[in-house]
Amino acid sequence: MYSLFLAAAAFIAVFFGFWKFEISSLGWSIFWGFFVFAITVLVINLIIRRRITDLMAETQEIMNEGQRKIQVMLNRFQNRPTGDPKRLMAEAEKMQNKVLAEALEFTDRLEPFRNWMPLFGKQLNTTRMQYLYQMKNFKKVDELMPKCIILDSMSASMKLARLYSNKAEIEEIEKVFNKSKSRLRYNQSALLYALMGWIYIKKNMPEKAHTTLVQACKDNENETLKRNLDRLANKKVREYNNAGFGDEWYALYLENPKIQYRRQQPRMDGRPF
């Protein structure tokens, strides 16, 4: 990593300078060398992080603008449901893929920072993996997944979903689930738990699903988890439903959302438009 190389060079320069010219003793020369090393790493990282943050903000702006346009189109259809819903969803998906492709291409501008910060390469891979997942390019997702760093609930859920879709053994899925949830704080693992419960249901293991959701409700404050736990406790396994997570759940592409129609409210003159 370039930052470490520069910091090491600064350490050597300060250490030998202080020691050779007898500015300080050997021990103090080493101390000042390490001090300059730490300061150099800190300053470089702050500069690089600020630049990365600015570029990521631009990427997010691309995503937000695209999402806004898609939402406007969907809201228009919900308010005045005319036309074929399947065609509408196809158009929305096409628009989304275009936005994601732009965001994915924009991440190339982050590539030069890969050699400046430890682990940034894996963080960049994770961002790209998420974009590719939303584009349903699962072949590239599966190729990139081992090179990612999984630290958030959404990325962990994507990894779990891919294991399930690729028909991995339940033991392997459980291993990834347990490792992922251990990294998350209170109230950060709701989606991950909900997905694991859903997988258990699909694997015809409702008892394990119930046990998982009991722990889920201890680790999270979430109404969807509570409702599903109540359903499992009352043997209503078929009513298990993660729709309450909204876009987060449907972004895993394990289930398709239903388009909600809004009833037209007539004006005072009786005309519906």
Predicted pLDDT of residue 267: 34
Global confidence as pTM: 0.80
Predicted pLDDT of residue 245: 96
Predicted pLDDT of residue 1: 65
Predicted pLDDT of residue 259: 55
Q: What is the dihedral of CA 18, 24, 27, 31, to 10 degrees?
A: -60
The full set of domain ranges for the chain reads 1-149, 168-255
Predicted pLDDT of residue 264: 39
Predicted pLDDT of residue 189: 97
Predicted pLDDT of residue 93: 83
| pLDDT tens figures, 19-53 | 888 788 888 889 989 999 999 989 988 998 899 89
Q: How far apart are CA 53 and CA 44, in angstroms?
A: 14
DSSP string, 215-247: HHHHH---HHHHHHHHHHHTT-GGG---GGGTH
Residues 6+ apart with CB under 8 A from 51: 113
Q: Residues of the chain whose pLDDT is less than 50?
A: 261-273
In terms of Cα–Cα distance, which of 201, 180, 202 is closest to 191?
Answer: 180
Q: How far apart are CA 264 and CA 68, in angstroms?
A: 23
